[in-house]
Structure 1
Amino acid sequence: MSSVSAGWYKDPADTSTQRYWDGEGWVGKAIPADAVPPDGPPPAEPEPPAAEAAPPVPAPQPAPVPAGPPPGWAPQPPPPPGWQPPPGMQPPPGWQPPSGLQPPPGWQPAPGAQPMHAHPYPYPMPMPEARPHGMALAGLGRRLTARLIDIAAVLLLNVVVNGYFVYLYLQDFWPIFTAAWEQAMAGSTQPVMQQGTPRMSTLSVAIVMIATLLWLVYEAPSIAGSGQTLGKRIMGIKVVAMERTGELGFARAFTRWARLGMWTLFWWCCVGLIVQFLYSLSPLFDSRLRQAWHDKAAGTVVVAVPPGTKPTVETATRGDNPGGPQ
């Protein structure tokens, strides 16, 4: 079974046209590549009317083969010395047949085998671009811009909700920092290590927990309902499931967020920041569907949805979606 979903793609035999792929083969007539295809498969072509039975045509009689050459015929003289065929009738210097049309050195066909090409075209068949549910994949630049907008929105929420706790933390941290700075500026060779207060330890845990919860509350419900956060809505991209275009639901949206957001709890040792950075780069490792690791965990994909665009396929069945769960 083909892993390419049904839809309109460029015809591999003629890239200036496009045809409809039904998941198993090409159907219908080709249309120009820049034309807007209809929704779904092309309409069925009417069958031509049955032609009336034509009267049998008598078989032509073979012409009699002459017993010899016609009268006056004589063998043609050989070409003059030094004669060369015209330039248009001979290959250019150094011409060799394409490598795909000649066997490797020493190759011998199996007894009784018939020579054949590895594919029906004299060139490798191009793989059509994946279009989940008839929508184009979101570009990496738009996804990065959307993520930066979301980071700014979550940071603004932290300023409003978490700002007071950060202020209390700085009240205890600033005297320690000032004392260490004065010792360093005085040239002390044995600076006294300042210990943080118990309130600083409590506040640091509370600040990280609140920041993680604010990110969860900002992203998971919006992805569960519309598939779009503020940044994704501005950039015209959307998170959809691999097998359908409806709402993801909170459980699935939480699974997608948790693979990235829960690492915020490990910012204190820098491990969380490194893992989140790698997760952000993970779409570069999937050239087919551009799925990040958290998309693979939730079975989702990010697509581009310009204003007025609607999916051309509502639901994929039997796991026919490219790269989708089987």
Structure 2
Amino acid sequence: MSSLPAGWYKDPADTSTQRYWDGEGWIGKAIPADAVPPDGPPPPEEETPAEPTPPIATQPTSPPAWLPPQHAPPQQAPPPQPTSPPPGWGPQPPPPGWQPPPGWQPPPGWQPPPGWQPPPGMRAGYYPMAEARPHGYALAGLGPRLVARLLDILAVLLLNIVVNGWFAYQFLQEFAPIYRATLDQMANGGSAYDVEPSGRMEGLLWAMLIVATLLWLVYEAPSIGSSGQTLGKRLMRIKVVALENTEPLGFGRAFRRWAQLGMWTPAWGCLGIGLLFQFIDSLSPVFDPQLRQAYHDKTARTVVIALPPDDRQPVDATTGGGGTSTSTGGR
């Protein structure tokens, strides 16, 4: 069974349309790929009443017992029996552009017809899955997500300059004499490890890391919990939504998503171990071609979508259709 959640996806048989996947198969009629589908499965199709078929006049199955020779029915020759299959008979290759549905596997013992070649970008034995469209919206690209993250890092850095400025000044005051003593020690043939940092300098370093972590938390978690967007995501027109619906995530779920990435910040002071884990987490969407979820997205069961250019934002079915960014951006 496919692990792809139910939702609207591009129709594998016609990529210019999209249909609803209920987790086991395609249902409902196809709609254009650029149209915004309804939230949830399509309404059931109404059955059209079948037209009554006209009665067929019955023909006598046998002629009368005796007819004059001039009125006897002509003898019909029996239809010829085919001795070989007609040209083109047998397994045919799929039409151009055909892709199997999500999770489809060939039946046991299936072999492709002679001369069949897989479509471009599809290796033999591997069947690509349909492009996921959570709640009818395209997934955010890796490029916009990276730029949005860099913009958020810049915003948090500016906050740290303002709030952490005093701690940074005190740290430099403690660091300057230790740095000069280290240079003198190395000039006299000693080792740089002979100079021990002061306890106050280490305390200031941990204080700056903790303050930086709290500033990142205050900057990201409330905005993701209420609207699904930080400043960087607003500028890049991408949004964080839940897998199961488009309602606001709430602070608790947004904190769980942020903590998977942000709680490693104090570990920067441990030989950069925290920075290494954050780098691996930020790179993880590359290894999820289906939903492009980072590890912190998998923890919170969220996905990042790209908003269309007409400012339509995903909303829950109980609140009506999509609205403009002015009316829904503050959610």
TM-score by length of 2: 0.69
Which residue is 2:240 aligned to?
239
CA RMSD after TM alignment:
3.6
Match of 2:198 in 1: 197
What corresponds to 2:167 in structure 1?
A: 165
Distance 1:221 1:36, change over 3 A: closer
Q: 1:18 is matched with which residue? A: 17
Q: Report if aligned partners of 1:134, 1:313 keep a CA contact under 8 Å in 2.
A: no
Structure 2 residue matching 1:234: 3-state secondary structure:
helix
1:127 equivalent in alignment to 2:126: no
Matches within 5 A, 1:216-295: 216-269=217-270, 270-295=272-297
How many angstroms apart in 2 are the aligned matches of 1:218 and 1:149?
A: 12
Query: What is the 5 A alignment of 1:136-175?
Result: 136-175=138-177
Instruction: State how far apart, in whole Å, the 2-side matches of 1:129 and 1:16 are.
Output: 10
- The ranges of structure 1 where at least 4 consecutive aligned residues each deviate by more than 6 angstroms after the TM superposition are 59-63, 97-100, 122-125
- Opposite residue 189 of structure 2, the aligned amino acid is T
- Cα deviation 1:256-305 (Å, max 9, x = unaligned): 11111010010012110110110011111111001100111111111111
Measure how far apart 1:26 and its partner are.
Answer: 4.0
Q: Percent identity?
A: 48
Q: Is the 8 A contact 2:171 2:201 kept in 1?
A: yes
Cα displacement (A) at 1:255: 0.5
Name the CA distance, whole Å, in 2 between partners of 1:16 and 1:301.
Answer: 23
Q: How many residues align?
A: 266
After the TM superposition, which of the residue ranges 231-240 and 125-134 deviates more from structure 2? 125-134
Aligned with 1:64 (options 56, 75, 81): 75
Letter in 2 for 1:190: G
The gaps in structure 2 that reach 5 residues or longer are: 63-72, 79-86, 95-107, 119-125, 319-331
Asked whether the 8 Å contact 1:295–1:301 carries over to 2, the reply is yes
Report if the CA contact (8 A) 1:39-1:312 is conserved: no
**Matches of 1:274 and 1:38, distance apart in 2:** 41
Alignment partner, residue 212 of structure 2: 211
Structure 1 pair 22–10 and aligned structure 2 pair: CA distance change class (3 A): closer
Kindly state the Cα deviation for residue 244 of structure 1 after the two structures are TM-superposed.
1.0
| TM-score (structure 1 length as normaliser) | 0.70
Deviation (angstroms), 1:224: 0.7
Post-superposition Cα deviations, 1:82-105, rounded to whole Å, max 9, x if no partner, equal xxxxxxxx99xxxxx9999xxxxx
Of structures 1 and 2, the one scoring higher in RCO (CA 8 A, sep 6+) is 1
Q: Which amino acid aligns with 1:273?
A: L
Q: 1:172–1:200: 8 Å Cα contact kept in structure 2?
A: yes
User: Do 2:9 and 2:132's aligned partners in 1 also have CA atoms closer than 8 Å?
Assistant: no
User: In the aligned structure 1, how far is the partner of 2:303 from the partner of 2:60?
Assistant: 64
Instruction: State the partner residue of 2:179.
Output: 177
SS in 2 for 1:127: coil
Moved more, 37-46 or 239-248: 37-46
Q: Quick check: which has more Rg, 1 or 2? A: 1
CA distance in structure 2 between the partners assigned to 1:313 and 1:116 by the alignment: 45
State the shift of 1:217 in Å: 0.5
Distance 2:74 2:269 in 1: 98
CA contact (8 A) 2:9 2:131 kept: no
Deviation at 1:164, TM superposition (A): 1.0
Deviations along 1:160-212, whole A, 9 cap, x unmatched? 0001110011011012112323444x4x2224732222321221111111011
User: In 2, distance between residues paired with 1:243 and 1:16?
Assistant: 24
| Residue pair 2:293, 2:304 contacting (<8 A) in 1 also | yes
Amino acid at match of 1:21: Y
Q: Distance in 2 between matches of 1:273 and 1:21?
A: 41
Partner of 2:54: 53
Task: Specify whether residues 146 and 56 from structure 1 end up closer, same or farther in structure 2 by C-alpha distance, changes over 3 A only.
Answer: same
Deviations along 1:196-241, one digit per CA (max 9) or x if unpaired, are 2232122111111101100010011111100101111110111111
Q: Partner residue of 2:305? A: 303
Structure 1 unaligned blocks of 5 or more: 68-89, 92-96, 101-114, 316-326
Distance 1:162 1:44, change over 3 A: same
Relative distance call for 1:18 and 1:253 in structure 2 (3 A) is: same
Q: 2:35 & 2:262 partners in 1: Cα distance?
A: 41
Q: Once structures 1 and 2 are overlaid, which stretch shifts more, 33-42 or 198-207?
A: 33-42
- Give secondary structure in 2 for the equivalent of 1:203: helix
* Structure 1 residue matching 2:263: 3-state secondary structure: helix
